[in-house]
Structure 1
C-alpha cells in the first residue's frame, strides 16, 4: 500500500494526475459525483463513494472552516 501511495503522490507532483500501477484511474473531482480513492484492504486501492458523506455534509451546512 505504501508503494501505491508514493506512486500516486509522485505522479500527482509530476503531472497533476495521480496514477499508480496498482491503483485504478482516479476520477476527476465533481461536487455532484462525490467519490474517493480508498487505499488499503483487498486489492490495495479502489474507487468508491464517500463512506461518510452525510457526516461530512454537516460541516458544509454548519459553515465551519479551519482557521488560518
Structure 2
C-alpha cells in the first residue's frame, strides 16, 4: 500500500494522507484497519486516516468492478 501525505494549501491545516491500494492484500489490510478504527474512539488523525482508507477502498472497487464484463452466455 502506498501512502502519500499532501502538503496543506493553507498554513495550520492538517496533512491529508492519500493511500493507494496496490494488491488484494493491501485491500484486505485497509478494510481491517477501517473496521478497527470504527470500533474505537478516534481523534482527528485517525479520522483523516479512516477517510483516506475509505477513499482508497472505493477507488480500488471502481478499478476492479467487473460487473459490466459479465455475460449470460459462455
Which has a greater percent of helix?
2
TM-score by structure 2 length? 0.27
Larger radius of gyration: 2
Higher relative contact order (CA 8 A, sep 6+): 2
